[in-house]
């Protein structure tokens, strides 16, 4: 390995760059395709890291399972020609050993690997003592704890240049997305690990080129730190994920349309207005909590009376009446039926829990 390159790669933490862009084909297919794609991406002047799948986890056997180790020299060549850092998916200690011997800068753990603590532990053990940048994709299923488990295993192995990739979650029968974004899960992850960078993978969320811009913009609005997007010099003939890859040129157009957001503003007027509105929100939130607490006190009294009168805790007709009335009121004030429904469901369930406690 070229030590100069190694030192440069280990000294810089690419994840510290806000607005990091990782792009490249779903799979490395041949040297020409990879180098051509890398050159076109590099010419945009906006891409930091070249991604390419070398080993592909496929649902069915017999499909194209990646070119394997023989693709790593192509990646190294693309890196030398363009100066882009490189990223590959690893799922085993052997993948890591091979990737490191070809000076790959960023390793990512795929969604099908994050679900398996055995594999994650093997990966963590193999990475011990390295200074690699590792990105962990969310698990295929919406299980926050599995994602957290992977962070903890890698942290314990001393891997501190860690980032997360939100690529959406598998759900049966979802037609709008290939993998439903379920934004509340990455938002919770950002709350739990505020210092770990969060990247969005709109390609695997959308599963098609349609929607890439809006999903990417939404991630920027949610203060994500960057994007990992699939881009291929000839998407129509790509061996994997053909429908969701875009040409580097289209990627350039899309990146230009994105509106970057800051977590704060330097304009005094904006800061003052925000502070004022937030104070109003804080006051209203406190009022809401007091109102809910009062409501629960009354629910408790009703529970005691129901016990005395031997009346059932659950009164479906009454609940339906409340729901209909509040949905109508909410609608007239611009609140959606879905939102009122889920708020009232949470409140009603808590009332039932309180009344059940009295009655048992
Ligand atoms: C990929 O990035 O090409 C890939 C296989 O992703 P995921 O693990 O999100 O399915
Ligand atoms: Mn892919």
Two structure tokens written together for 352: 């039932």
Which residue has tokens 């990627």? 251
In the DSSP assignment, the letter for residue 39 is H
Distance (Å) of CA 169 to CA 71, 112, 136, 281: 29, 11, 14, 32
User: What pLDDT is attached to residue 10?
Assistant: 43
Centre of ligand 1 from the C-alpha of residue 60, in Å: 15
360 C-alpha to ligand 1 centroid (Å): 50
DSSP string over 207-239: SSSTTHHHHHHHHHHTT--EEEEEB-SSGGG-S
Question: What's the pLDDT at 171?
Answer: 87
Name the maximum alpha-carbon separation found in the chain. Answer: 83
pLDDT tens for the chain, residues 1 to 360: 343 443 344 457 999 999 999 999 999 999 999 999 999 999 999 999 999 999 998 888 888 999 999 999 999 999 999 999 999 999 999 999 999 999 999 999 999 999 999 999 999 999 999 999 999 999 999 999 999 999 999 999 999 999 999 999 998 887 789 999 999 999 999 999 999 999 999 999 999 999 999 999 999 999 999 999 999 999 999 999 999 999 999 999 999 999 998 888 888 999 999 999 999 999 999 999 999 999 999 999 999 999 999 999 888 899 999 999 999 999 999 999 999 999 999 999 999 999 999 877
Q: What is the pLDDT of residue 6?
A: 39
* Partner residues linked to 322 by β-bridges: none
What's the pLDDT score for residue 8? 42
Mutate to test the pocket of ligand 1, among 87, 91, 204 (most ligand atoms within 8 A of CB): 204
Nearest CA to ligand 1 atom 10: 111
- Report which secondary-structure segment, H or E, holds 23: strand 20-24
60 DSSP assignment: S
User: Measured between alpha carbons, how far is 278 from 304 in angstroms, rounded to an integer?
Assistant: 39
Token digits of residue 203: 């390609």
Rounding to the nearest 10 degrees, give the CA dihedral for residues 339, 199, 180, 61.
Answer: -170
Global pTM value: 0.86
Ligand nearest to the CA of 245: 2
Neighbours of 37 (CB within 10 A): 25
C-alpha to C-alpha distance for 273 and 316, rounded to whole angstroms: 45
Atom from ligand 1 closest to the CA of residue 56 = 5
Which residues surround ligand 1 with Cβ inside 6 Å? 26, 53, 57, 89, 110-112, 137, 167, 204
- Of all atoms in ligand 1, which is nearest to the CA of residue 228? 2
- Beta strand spans in the chain (E): 20-24, 49-51, 85-89, 106-109, 133-137, 161-166, 197-200, 226-230
Residue nearest to atom 9 of ligand 1 (CA): 111
Per-residue pLDDT tens digits for 255-309: 999 999 888 888 899 999 999 999 999 999 999 999 999 999 999 999 999 999 9
Residue to substitute in 110, 142, 179 for testing ligand 1 pocket (most ligand atoms within 8 angstroms of CB): 110
Report the C-alpha gap between 354 and 304 in whole angstroms.
10
**Which of ligand 1's atoms lies nearest the C-alpha of 53?**
3
Based on C-alpha coordinates, what's the Rg of the chain?
A: 25
Q: Report CA(28)–ligand 2 centroid distance (Å).
A: 11
């Amino acid at each position: 390995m070229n030590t100069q390159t190694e030192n440069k790669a280990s000294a810089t933490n690419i994840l510290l760059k806000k607005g990091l862009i990782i792009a490249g084909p779903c799979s490395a297919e041949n040297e020409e395709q990879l180098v051509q794609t890398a050159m076109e991406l590099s010419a945009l002047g906006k891409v930091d890291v070249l991604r390419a799948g070398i080993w592909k986890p496929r649902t069915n056997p017999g499909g194209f399972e990646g070119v394997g180790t023989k693709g790593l020299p192509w990646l190294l060549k693309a890196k030398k020609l363009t100066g882009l850092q490189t990223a590959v998916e690893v799922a085993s200690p052997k993948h890591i050993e091979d990737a490191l011997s070809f000076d790959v800068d960023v390793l990512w753990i795929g969604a099908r690997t994050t679900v398996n603590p055995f594999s994650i532990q093997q990966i963590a053990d193999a990475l011990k003592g390295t200074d690699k940048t590792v990105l962990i994709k969310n698990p295929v299923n919406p299980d926050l704890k599995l994602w957290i488990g992977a962070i903890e295993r890698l942290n314990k192995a001393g891997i501190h240049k860690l980032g997360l990739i939100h690529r959406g979650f598998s759900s049966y029968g979802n037609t709008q997305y290939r993998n439903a974004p379920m934004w509340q899960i990455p938002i919770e992850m950002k709350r739990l690990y505020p210092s770990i960078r969060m990247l969005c993978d709109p390609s695997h969320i959308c599963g098609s080129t349609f929607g890439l811009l809006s999903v990417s913009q939404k991630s920027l609005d949610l203060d994500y730190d960057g994007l990992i997007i699939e881009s291929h010099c000839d998407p129509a003939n790509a061996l994997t994920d053909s429908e969701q890859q875009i040409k580097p040129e289209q990627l350039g157009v899309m990146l230009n349309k994105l509106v970057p957001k800051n977590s704060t503003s330097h304009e005094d007027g904006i800061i003052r207005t925000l502070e004022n509105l937030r104070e109003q929100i804080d006051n209203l939130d406190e009022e809401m909590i007091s109102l809910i607490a009062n409501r629960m006190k009354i629910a408790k009294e009703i529970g005691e009376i129901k016990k005395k009168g031997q009346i059932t805790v659950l009164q479906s007709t009454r609940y339906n009446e409340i729901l209909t009335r509040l949905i109508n009121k909410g609608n007239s004030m611009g609140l959606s039926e879905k939102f009122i429904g889920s708020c009232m469901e949470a409140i009603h369930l808590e009332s039932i829990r309180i009344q059940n406690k009295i009655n048992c």
